[in-house]
Structure 1
Amino acid sequence: MSLKDRLLEDMKSAMKEKDLIKKNTVQMTRAAILQVEKDNKVTLDDEGVIEILAKEVKKRKDVLPEYEKSGRQDLIDDLNREVEVLMGYLPEQLSEEELEQMIKTVIEEVGASAMKDMGKVMAAIMPKTKGRADGKMINLIAKKYLT
């Protein structure tokens, strides 16, 4: 079963279970997928869907600090639940140790030694970690090794 099919089935089951947050989250994600497909006149495979799911998670994580400033715990809980729902569709996330090891290997492969080589490192590591790690985390770890 493809990810798009799984999203559709999960949306239907969320409607039956009256799980409003899950239904809305999956519905918004499906809309984002359809929008990309229409705009680019393509049919996304699972890898393309994972990319969109990762973007949706990132969007929600980026607004979380704003919600925390507002002090609205109900909105914070809903947002965390949305992230949790979306993470269920992404491949297993890499641990910090696994990420560090991958970054060290890439740094050696591309011959990076200073911050000016950050672009080379990021270009080499991002395809390997697509949907499995946050770009900010990768960037921070890479900076640590490229001082």
Structure 2
Amino acid sequence: MEMETLQKEMIAAMKARDKVRKDAISGLVSAAKKVAIDEGCRDDIKEELVNRVILKELKTVKEQIDSCPESRPDLKEEYQARYDIYQEFAPAMMSAEEVEKFITEKFADVLASKNKGMIMKNVMPELKGKADGKVINQVVAKLCQ
């Protein structure tokens, strides 16, 4: 997701007077800018950085939904609305089949060792932000058998 696209969506939500959507997108923009400043690239915010922030915020709000007490349906509804909005902007994750194909094509030499730790060490940096860690772990475990 491009930072400019995110900002345009926020402006559109402001014009539509959609406070919930505007607040959610504003939170993503703020988080992306903060990470960019921390990493020293405030003027040139890359798409990879924005996607990483969106995934992190998505995970955070999912944990909020899961840990929200049943006695607070108002809070749970607010978290769910934010989660749904974040989901719109989240990058598409690779499926288990795509991960398996990627690993077998690009890491055939490491895969031949059947050493799960070594495979994970090589594969994880390549797939970070592109596939769910649980899916990667399951695929690697299957390929090591």
Amino acid paired to 1:82: R
Match of 2:17 in 1: 18
Q: Do residues 58 (structure 1) and 56 (structure 2) align?
A: no
**Deviation per residue, 1:70-93 (Å, 9 max, x gap):** 124443443333233223223332
Q: Is the 8 A contact 1:33 1:52 kept in 2?
A: yes
- More displaced stretch, 95-104 vs 22-31: 95-104
- Mark the runs of 5 or more structure 2 residues left unpaired by the alignment: none
Shift, 1:35, TM fit: 1.0
Shift, 1:9, TM fit: 0.9
Q: Is the 8 A contact 1:106 1:121 kept in 2?
A: no
Amino acid paired to 2:56: K
CA distance in 1, matches of 2:64, 2:108: 35
Q: What pairs with 1:106-125 in structure 2 (closer than 5 Å)?
A: 108-111=108-111, 112-114=113-115, 117-118=116-117, 120-125=118-123
Amino acid paired to 2:17: K
**TM-score normalised by length of structure 1:** 0.74
Match of 1:40 in 2: 39
Q: Do residues 30 (structure 1) and 29 (structure 2) align?
A: yes
Shift, 1:7, TM fit: 1.0
Match of 1:98 in 2: 98
Label 1:129 to 1:86 Cα distance change in 2 as closer, same or farther (>3 A). Answer: farther
Q: Is the 8 A contact 2:65 2:79 kept in 1?
A: yes
Q: Is the 8 A contact 2:96 2:136 kept in 1?
A: no
Q: Is the 8 A contact 1:50 1:131 kept in 2?
A: yes
CA distance in 2, matches of 1:30, 1:89: 11
Q: Is the 8 A contact 1:53 1:89 kept in 2?
A: yes
Amino acid paired to 2:82: E
Match of 1:136 in 2: 134
Shift, 1:19, TM fit: 2.3
**TM-score normalised by length of structure 2:** 0.75
Shift, 1:27, TM fit: 0.9
**Deviation per residue, 1:10-66 (Å, 9 max, x gap):** 111112223233212211111111111222221321122111112111222233321
Q: Is the 8 A contact 1:106 1:125 kept in 2?
A: no
RMSD: 2.7
